[in-house]
Structure 1
Amino acid sequence: MAVRLGALAERHGLELIGDGNVEIDGVCTLANGRAGAISFLANPQYRRYLASTAASAVIVSTADAEALATPGLVARDPYVAYARVASEFLPPADATGQVHPRAVVDEQASLGAGVTIAAGAVVAADARLADGVCIGPNTVIGRGVQIGSDTVVAANVTLEDGVTIGARCRLHPGVVVGSRGFGLAMDAGRWIEVPQLGSVVIGDDVEIGANTTIDRGAVEDTVIGHGVKIDNLVQIAHNVRIGDHTALAAKVGIAGSSTIGSYCMLGGAVGVAGHLEITDKVMITGMTLVTRSIREPGTYSSGWPVATSGEWRKQVARLRRLGKLEDRVKQLESGA
């Protein structure tokens, strides 16, 4: 449905420039704009498209407002404003408020008002689904699972027994929450399993990307705080604790019993060793390996930046010679 630009400005507290009667029916990029869509300018490298874009409106900062060639909205942070405006054009969840005839719901499960359960889904005994919960096709909700109001669980998700999910969460396809933690003990040359008797507790307003796995705790619960955003293909091991409003990019791996603070950001493919503590407001750049606790807020890196193959080989060769260089320095310092 189309929305007048002036209505968007009023609803989101933005300054309107130009014709407020322009109708907006979706979003677009500046470079590939189209009539009827709204775009935004947050990265200066795209400023060159501002004068020529085919978008019907653009969200800009105060500094870029004079360069607008179209109607627009002025925001303190154009990217944040775009996120809020764009959410108005999301397709609604496939919520019918009904249980599909081909879903299997145990008679001892509790369903709130307006719960939607799609075909092929299974809801086990003692599960409690609050008002407005939406369960996708072929999803499995284990015994005693609790799901807060208005949470959307997509297709092919597995919530193991005893898991707790907060309100207004979104779990994308293939997510597994509460699977057995990787606990093993060596006994006489053979591995024996250590029982994983905890569960997983997930706060409100959490998003979990496709094919992410969160293991249940060994003794205490694995805990994900409120407002945490988790990308696709992330592995969170048993007894991990993640603070409120932390974001994890794709392929992050967090080993068992590590604690991540609030308002942290972990880039793609970051690895965190077990039993570590990372304080609040830490940013860790992509491909970084964390092998010690981080006690001070800030940005941390260990990944090797890309270089040409020839330069990379030279850098590796220099590293391999460092031991010999150190020995020579020690000899010189000792006067040998």
Structure 2
Amino acid sequence: MNSDAAVSYTLGELAERLDARLIGDADLRVSGLSTLTDAGPGDLAFLANRAYLKYLAGTGAGAVLVHPAHGEACPCPRLELDNPYLGYAKLSHLFDPLNNRPRQAVHSTATVSPSAAVGERVEIGANCVIEAGVEIGDDCVIGPGCVIGADTVVGAGSRLHANVTVYHGVTIGKRAILHSGSVIGGDGFGFAHDGKQWEKIAQLGGVSLGDDVEVGSCSSIDRGALGDTLIGSGVKIDSQVQIAHNVQIGDHSALAGCVGIAGSTKVGRHCLLGGGVGLSGHLTLTDGVQVTGMSLVTNSILEPGVYSSGTGSMSNSQWRKNAVRFKQLDEIAKRLHRLERDMRDT
């Protein structure tokens, strides 16, 4: 994989980057990353899961990232380190085509306000709109079709992929990655009812993203009603995630696809929300909480740990029977209470 890439590195260079132990020829060059089964002589493979240990002896890779415990089984040069998967993650950026292509300048079809401040080595793609008062830091890449609203700040080294929309008054930290279709700073879902119809509440706050935040494609982070919606540094947000107004998410938390968080809920640091998790509004999740996929959280969680709700899949016929029983639980509980009371009285 990627054996025809324009970039290549010696094993000695890679070992130095990872502070890994090198066993083999330090001058051997690799030009791509691949799996144990797909790798060729010009590739570096990795073994991060024992389930794939059976493929190590037969790999065609030029070299392998491997834990020291499995080094002796490796048939080729190797880089030994305690966390091969982390090593793979770090090296992946060296072979990413996005990082190895020449930077462009401001495309002729881009519209950039005269009052916008654009840093050094910034790429702005075709048909972008950069409104008044925007500040874009050094080394940013703004992909084709992006819109950045007035008075927004984009930190140095950030990348907005094609067709990202950032509303006015948003602050984005350094080295952010916003994927296509994401919307940052749209109106929160705020309405008051007069008995007949809905009256819209103007959303006067903004959105603040910390450093090293990544937002997946087609995800939305709504602006605050008054204060800002706050996303901490190092937060990773998957695709198709909805974050409502005035939500706060602590540093280094991660949200998998289709998570929905209602307004004014606070999620702590280093929390993990599985796919399809829903959080009701005005809740607090303390630091270190993990909520498994498809769970609904309706009360605050004040102790770290793993939490789940819902039921696993089963046959439809069994589910229908259980659904009937679920409707009967309240009556069963009342009957049980009466029986316990009667037994105490006898």
Same fold (TM over 0.5): yes
Note the residue ranges of structure 1 that are not aligned, 5 or more in a row: none
The Cα shift of 1:57 comes to 1.9
Match of residue 127, structure 2, among 99, 120, 128: 120
| Matching residue's letter, 1:142 | G
- 2:32 equivalent in structure 1: 26
1:40 aligns with 2:36: no
Whichever residue aligns with residue 4 of structure 1, its letter is: T
**Are residues 1:304 and 2:322 paired?**
no
Task: Indicate whether 1:241 and 2:240 are aligned.
Answer: no
Contact 1:286–1:303 under 8 Å retained in 2:
no
- The Cα of 1:283 is off from its aligned counterpart by 1.1
The residue number in structure 2 matching 1:266 is: 273
* Percent of aligned pairs with the same amino acid: 47
Flag the 1:315–1:53 CA change in 2: closer, same or farther, 3 A: farther
Structure 1 residues 10 and 324: alpha-carbon distance in aligned structure 2, compared to 1, 3 A threshold? same
Equivalent in the alignment of 1:178: 185
Structure 1 residues 321 and 54, CA, compared in 2 at 3 Å: closer, same or farther?
A: farther
Q: 1:267 to 1:49 in 2, by over 3 A?
A: same
Cα displacement string for residues 113-162 of structure 1 (whole angstroms, at most 9, x for unaligned residues): 12211110001111111111211111111111111111111110111011
Of residues 138, 147, 153, the one that matches 1:140 is 147
Q: Size of the alignment, in residue pairs?
A: 336
Alignment partners' CA distance in 1, 2:36 and 2:241: 32
Structure 1 CA distance for aligned equivalents of residues 330 and 259 of structure 2 = 32
Pairing of 1:1-336 with structure 2 (within 5 A): 1-93=7-99, 96=103, 98-335=105-342
Displacement after TM superposition at 1:311 (Å):
4.5
Q: Tell me the secondary structure at the aligned position of residue 180 of structure 2.
A: coil
* Other structure's SS at 2:184 match: strand
Q: Distance in 1 between matches of 2:36 and 2:311?
A: 33
Q: CA separation of 1:75/1:318 partners in 2, compared to 1, >3 Å: closer, same or farther?
A: farther
**Deviation per CA, 1:222-260, whole angstroms, max 9, x where unpaired?**
011111111111111000011111111111111100011
User: TM-score with structure 1 length normalisation?
Assistant: 0.95
Bigger mean CA deviation after superposition, 234-243 or 46-55: 46-55
Quick check: 1:97–1:132 contact (8 Å CA) kept in 2?
no
Taking a change above 3 Å as real, the CA distance of residues 215 and 95 of structure 1, as seen in their structure-2 partners, is farther
Q: CA–CA distance in 1 between the matches of 2:334 and 2:39? A: 62
2: CA distance, partners of 1:226 / 1:273 = 23
Q: 1:77: how far off? A: 1.2
CA–CA distance in structure 2, aligned partners of residues 47 and 311 of structure 1: 39
Structure 2 CA distance for aligned equivalents of residues 17 and 309 of structure 1: 55
Tell me what 2:4 maps to. none
* Runs (5+) with no aligned partner, structure 2: 1-6
Q: CA deviation at 1:313?
A: 4.2
Query: Does 294-303 or 211-220 show the bigger shift?
Result: 294-303
Equivalent residue letter for 1:322? L
Flag the 1:188–1:303 CA change in 2: closer, same or farther, 3 A: closer
In structure 2, C-alpha distance between the alignment counterparts of 1:232 and 1:216, rounded to whole Å: 18
Which moved further from structure 2: 133-142 or 297-306? 297-306
Deviation (angstroms), 1:321: 4.4
1:179 deviation in Å?
Answer: 0.4
